[in-house]
């Protein structure tokens, strides 16, 4: 029989015209028993057996026996063991090998292998391996920046148990299976550059099946280099005498902490620098950081011996090149035979540059600096005038004082057409000034413009800067009076109410210009017969112009009796004499 691969995992083959076939299975040279699970009650096992050759201990396949209703037929390289009606486990055959106990194989014994089949029902569907994909996995990240690595696992069978991520081969984020179908795993992280970080991820299900390993490489950028900042703290630019020793101090800072060199550079009047060799070399003038790579302060004493001008500066290097401070000039003069001092002082309201000791004949310049509320007023002591800066020649010890006065600020006032305003002027800082706006008779004040606001006619201003203020006026509004006629009125009646009105709504006043009447408020009392003329007027206010006066004339009528009173005549006259009609008006 040909050798066949033996496996307990069932492989089923369907052949036309036959029941379900299982196998082929290689029985090898086994003894004992073997059981095969099948999923159909009827079928055939495809079996093969092997031999190991002659000699003592040789095992050679001998024969097979069908059992319990099975049949054995030959096939191409194997035997068919057919069975039917299977409901549980059943032995269907026995296979025998002759085990030789002599070299020629003439004597020995038969070793039996019992073959069973077990009805296991339909096989479960094959387990499918989970899958995995990146949720969040950037390709590059800035130095020190935070980023998140996250992966998503998925299992169509609902058997997901793990979603695992490794960072450079070390555990980074391990998560469970979520709901069995989907789960996420991840963590935030950050790294310094430059470098590359490799993340790998894999999903695992309950059967131990794994997804392919996925890989993401994240490039961490190199940090951006910030050059150092270097400052020469001392000395300041100055003039000294030969042989003077000054302390040179410099501070260098680097936010990256990368300072590799910090030097104090000195150039002699001849033009040579100390870093070129020959003087002031090595510590404490040159070397690495004094303190730390982030903050270095280097200090050294240097004696200026050569007459002329030295240049002093400092420099720092962070590996990307030298950065230099500003250069300070130190002027060195020959020692004078005589020296004098200059003492400077300042009055209230400012400051003055410091004095010092100088060689005889030195011209010393000094500067007065007023504060924000004062002006420089002039020098006193051994200096005079108002020049600033000023200088003196030191031919003896001298003292000068800077004097200051409060700042004067201009107050400018103006007015639009229709009024006037308090004049302006110049006032010391902080002075309070009251200004007032006064309209003429045909205008009214409506408010302030410029550096003042509001509508109060008088305001208080405090001078802390120049001010420009304008009083704004506008025309008063015209108004008219409506005064209805009262017609004729009888003498002796009750007082009449005068009903004149002004369009402005302001009250109207009344005056009897002529005739027998008196007026009190708006009540007119007729005292006798005749024509009465009454005038209505409204004088206006701060908003309205005076109205034009309106007059009305009333005829005051007295009640009278008209009587006929003829003149006397003689009986002999036939008519009255011509003349005035004989009628007379009488009071009742």
The tens digit of pLDDT for each residue in 290-306 reads 999 999 999 999 999 99
Task: Establish if 575 belongs to a structural domain.
Answer: no
- pLDDT at position 11 over 60: no
Report how many domains make up the chain.
6
Task: Establish if 587 belongs to a structural domain.
Answer: no
* Highest-confidence segment of 50-54, 261-265, 570-574: 261-265
Task: Establish if 42 belongs to a structural domain.
Answer: yes
Task: Establish if 125 belongs to a structural domain.
Answer: no
In this prediction, residue 215 carries a pLDDT of 97
Question: Rounded to whole angstroms, what are the CA distances from 410 to 387, 407, 421, 534?
Answer: 23, 10, 16, 56
> Do the Cβ atoms of 141 and 191 come closer than 8 Å?
yes
Same-domain check for residues 239 and 316: yes
CA–CA dist 508, 519 (Å, integer): 13
Same-domain check for residues 450 and 507: no
In this prediction, residue 3 carries a pLDDT of 30
Same-domain check for residues 433 and 499: no
Same-domain check for residues 87 and 183: no
Confidence of residue 416 (pLDDT cuts 50, 70, 90): very high
In this prediction, residue 8 carries a pLDDT of 33
Produce one character per residue of 338-366: b if its CB has 16 or more CB atoms within 10 Å, e if not: eebebebebeebbebeebbebbeebebeb
Per residue in 246-285, pLDDT (tens digit) is 999 999 999 989 999 999 999 999 999 999 998 999 999 9
Q: What angle do CA 408, 412, 414 make, to 5 degrees?
A: 170
CATH number at residue 66: 2.60.40
- pLDDT at position 106 over 90: no
Domain end, chosen from 80, 96, 119, is at 119
- pLDDT at position 513 over 50: yes
Same-domain check for residues 328 and 343: no
Dihedrals phi, psi of 338, to nearest 5 degrees? -135, 140
User: What is the span of the domain harbouring residue 361?
Assistant: 339-406
Task: Establish if 147 belongs to a structural domain.
Answer: yes
Per residue in 547-563, pLDDT (tens digit) is 999 999 999 888 666 66
Average pLDDT, the chain: 89
Same-domain check for residues 466 and 486: no
Domain end, chosen from 119, 146, 178, is at 119
Retrieve residue 164's tokens.
């695992």
Same-domain check for residues 94 and 33: yes
Per residue in 310-348, pLDDT (tens digit) is 999 999 999 889 999 999 999 999 886 789 999 999 999
CATH number at residue 498: 2.60.40.10
Q: What is the DSSP letter of 178?
A: T
From 160-164, 487-491, 575-579, the region with the lowest mean pLDDT: 575-579
Same-domain check for residues 283 and 327: yes
Mean pLDDT confidence for 83-96: 92
Same-domain check for residues 112 and 67: yes
Same-domain check for residues 463 and 523: no
In this prediction, residue 574 carries a pLDDT of 56
């Amino acid at each position: 029989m040909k050798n066949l691969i033996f496996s307990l995992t069932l492989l089923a083959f369907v052949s036309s015209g036959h029941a379900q076939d299982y196998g082929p299975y290689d029985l090898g040279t086994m003894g004992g028993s073997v059981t095969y699970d099948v999923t159909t009650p009827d079928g055939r096992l495809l079996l093969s057996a092997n031999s190991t050759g002659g000699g003592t201990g040789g095992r050679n396949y001998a024969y097979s026996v069908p059992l319990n209703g099975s049949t054995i037929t030959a096939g191409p390289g194997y035997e068919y063991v057919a069975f039917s009606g299977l409901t549980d486990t059943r032995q269907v055959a026995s296979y025998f090998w002759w085990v030789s106990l002599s070299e020629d194989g003439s004597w020995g014994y038969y070793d039996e292998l019992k073959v069973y089949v077990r009805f296991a029902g339909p096989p479960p569907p094959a387990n499918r391996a989970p899958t995995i994909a990146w949720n969040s996995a950037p390709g590059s990240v800035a130095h020190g920046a935070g980023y998140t690595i996250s992966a998503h696992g998925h299992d169509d069978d609902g058997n997901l148990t793990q979603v695992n991520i490794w960072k450079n081969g070390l555990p980074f984020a391990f998560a469970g299976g979520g709901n069995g179908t989907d789960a996420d795993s991840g963590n935030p992280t950050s790294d310094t550059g430059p470098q590359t970080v490799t993340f790998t991820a894999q999903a695992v299900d309950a059967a131990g099946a794994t997804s392919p390993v996925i890989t993401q490489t994240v490039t961490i950028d190199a940090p951006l280099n910030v050059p150092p900042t270097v400052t020469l703290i001392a000395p300041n630019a100055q003039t000294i005498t030969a042989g003077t020793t000054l302390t040179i101090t410099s501070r260098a800072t680097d936010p990256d902490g990368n300072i590799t060199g910090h030097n104090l550079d000195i150039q002699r009047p001849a033009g040579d620098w100390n870093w070129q060799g020959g003087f002031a070399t090595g510590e404490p003038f040159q070397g690495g950081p004094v303190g730390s790579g982030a903050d270095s302060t280097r200090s050294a004493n240097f004696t200026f011996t050569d007459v002329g001008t030295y240049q002093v500066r400092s420099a720092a290097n962070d590996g990307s090149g030298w950065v230099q401070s500003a250069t300070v000039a130190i002027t060195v003069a020959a020692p004078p035979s005589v020296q004098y001092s200059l003492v400077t002082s300042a009055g209230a309201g400012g400051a003055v540059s410091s004095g010092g000791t100088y060689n005889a004949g030195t011209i010393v310049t000094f500067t007065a600096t007023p504060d924000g509320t004062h002006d420089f007023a002039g020098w006193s002591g051994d200096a005079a005038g108002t020049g600033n800066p000023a200088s003196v020649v030191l031919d003896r010890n001298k003292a000068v004082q800077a004097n200051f006065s409060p700042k004067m600020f201009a107050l400018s006032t103006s007015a639009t057409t229709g009024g006037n305003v308090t004049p302006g002027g110049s006032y010391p800082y902080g002075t309070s000034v009251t200004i007032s706006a006064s309209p003429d008779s045909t205008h009214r004040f409506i408010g302030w413009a410029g550096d003042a606001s509001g509508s109060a006619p008088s305001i208080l201003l405090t001078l802390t800067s120049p001010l420009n203020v304008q009083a704004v006026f506008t025309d008063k509004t015209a108004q008219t009076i409506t005064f209805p006629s009262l017609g004729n009125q009888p003498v002796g009646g009750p007082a009449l109410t005068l009903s004149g009105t002004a369009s402005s709504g302001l009250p109207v006043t009344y005056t009897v210009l002529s005739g027998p009447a008196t007026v009190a408020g708006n009540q007119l009392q007729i005292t006798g017969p005749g024509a009465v003329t009454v005038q209505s007027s409204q004088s206006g206010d701060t908003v309205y112009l005076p109205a034009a006066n309106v007059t009305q004339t009333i005829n005051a009528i007295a009640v009278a009796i008209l009587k006929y009173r003829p003149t006397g005549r003689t009986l002999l006259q036939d008519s009255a004499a011509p003349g005035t009609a004989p009628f007379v008006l009488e009071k009742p």
